[in-house]
Chains A and B, each alone.
Chain A
Amino acid sequence: MIESVGSVLGAGALLLGLVLASIGLFGMFRKRAIFEQLHAAGLVTGPAAILVLLASLASARAEIATSGFLVLAFVLVTSSLSTHAIALAAWRQGTGSTRTRAGSDADDQPGAGSAGVARTAMRVLIAHDGSPGADVGVALTASLPLPAGSVIRLIAAIEGDLAPLSASEPTSDPPTPAMVDLRVPLEAAARRLQRPGVTIDHVVRRGDPSMVIAAEAETLGADLVVVGSRGLGRIRTLLVGSVAAAVVDTSPCPVLVARIPRMSKVLLATDGSVPSAVATDRLAQWSIFEDVPILVLSVATSVPQYGDPPSGSGMQEIVQTARQQKVVDAAAVPLLEAGRRVIPRVRTGDAAAQIVSYGHGQSVDLIVVGSRGRTGLTRTLLGSVARGVLASARASVLIVRASPNLSEGWKSAR
């Protein structure tokens, strides 16, 4: 009797622990911010582990129960300590920022003006690490016809060095030699960007580059983040995790990965989705695209849809091409209304590969793609079109992400 009760309890604890661990892992896939991930991880390292170890009581073997309890006691102490250590490191990285100013008063207005009327002036954040790739970003921005009243901020990130554990108030640290070193290229870049009507300043911040850039874009109320690219290949991006790709994931606004220092021909890739519509919208609104020819491309994949004619008849391809033609036309309308020069095109095949090869063939300088953003496991396994384009295109890539809230708004508006 007692044994059967024990076995039921043990099985229950074991399975409940695994359910909790699954929920925690799912949460870690869903959330990208480190503190949100810590919250989800706590479920795995705490209750899930404890429940699984508690089930050792029901195993009816003395050695297993003893060892299980030993591990249980150990995990109780260590899991909270290691979570605390990670949280502390994240907190230090996030707050450990020191800024230098380029003597302009632009600091007093970030984000404040966004409530006004539809402004044409833009706020641009350029990430600069002193590398040649970053210089391409500066040159590209310098070539853009930014409207008067625009704000450009250059940002350099120092990865979390020089903060001793006992540092009480990191913001009051005096500028260190590393920061002074970084300011020199920043000031040179600021001089290259100088032009009438545009406010330029620069800051140096401490912490993980992608997070620092995302936070700064938020405070500046940036319309656009510009990052240089070292052009790591697909495999290396997966393993190393390039800063540019990380910025694309974390940035609150569109990200321009600069590879060519000019913009004379633009390719907009569209698939009729919400993110594509948002990207189209940006092209229509931003005045920097006024005098540039825009190729609008839609790629028909070879996946048949319900109601299509049977394959092999040649009809299928015609039907799909017609479908993509509609998508392209829908994207072209707002651009034409905004007075842009539009050239529509349809191609067939793998989306990312076709976008890249077509852009290369037409010697396009900039490819614009919409991205659904974090799609969790799906992206890890399959890789989105935007990622594919970013990994293999030689041209600069502008990735416009539709935020979840925005997508909802779009859907309800239709």
Chain B
Amino acid sequence: MIPDVVMVVAFAWATVLLVAGGLLLLRAADSLHRLLALDVLGTIVIIVLTTLSYVKGVSYYIDAALALALLSFSATLVAARYIIQGRGPSA
């Protein structure tokens, strides 16, 4: 078992990272930077959900992370393709 203190600290830390990722998204200059920020943000949410599931000791949150990883992956692929083909929203 990972000590409780470590898990709580890790969860708080991951939440801070989530906020930082949000700022990164707000700051993005064009659609490519925005896409990259969203991709990273997706990974950070996975990290947050995983630490949450360690804290609570249940596995449901990791399952949610799995679904989220699947969705964010396909979204990234589609958005990248749209940027290349130019049918997406402009920067």
List residues of chain A with CB under 8 Å of any chain B CB. Answer: 3, 7, 10-11, 14-15, 17-18, 21-22, 24-25, 28-29, 32, 34, 37-38, 41, 44-45, 48-49, 52-53, 55-56, 58-61, 63-64, 66-68, 70-71, 74-75, 78-79, 81-83, 85-86, 88-90, 92-93, 159-165, 208-211, 238, 241, 243, 246, 249-250, 377, 380-381
Given A14-B2, A82-B76; A55-B39 close (CB under 8 Å): no
A254 to B39, CA, bound (A): 33
Can you list 10 contacts pairing A with B, beta carbon distance less than 8 Å? Answer: A7-B2, A14-B2, A18-B10, A44-B43, A52-B47, A52-B51, A59-B1, A71-B69, A92-B84, A159-B90
Query: Provided the pairs A37-B36, A55-B2, A58-B1 are in contact, do residues A45 and B43 lie with their beta carbons within 8 angstroms?
Result: yes
Docked Cα-Cα span, A208 to B35, in Å, equals 14
- List B contacts of A161 (CB < 8 A): 85-87
Q: Encode contact with A along B30-72: 1 for CB under 8 Å, 0 otherwise.
A: 1111011101100110110011011001110011011001101
A59 and B47 contact, CB distance less than 8 A: no
Q: Are A163 and B86 in contact (CB under 8 A)?
A: yes
Q: Which residues of B contact A243 (CB under 8 A)?
A: 91
Q: Which of B26, B51, B72, B84 contacts A89 (CB 8 A)?
A: B84
Chain B residues near A (Cβ < 8 Å): 1-3, 6-7, 9-10, 13-14, 17, 20-21, 23-24, 26-33, 35-37, 39-40, 43-44, 46-47, 50-51, 53-54, 57-59, 62-63, 65-66, 69-70, 72-73, 76-77, 80-81, 83-87, 90-91
Q: Say yes or no: B91 contacts A159, CB within 8 Å.
A: yes
Q: How far is the CA of A82 from the CA of B74 in the complex (A)?
A: 8
CA–CA, A161 to B82, complex, Å? 9
- What residues on A are CB-neighbors of B90 within 8 Å? 159
B84 & A160 in contact (Cβ 8 Å cutoff): yes
Cβ–Cβ contact B30 & A56, under 8 A = no
Instruction: Find the B residue at minimum CB distance from A37.
Output: B36
CA distance A11 to B31 in the complex (A): 37
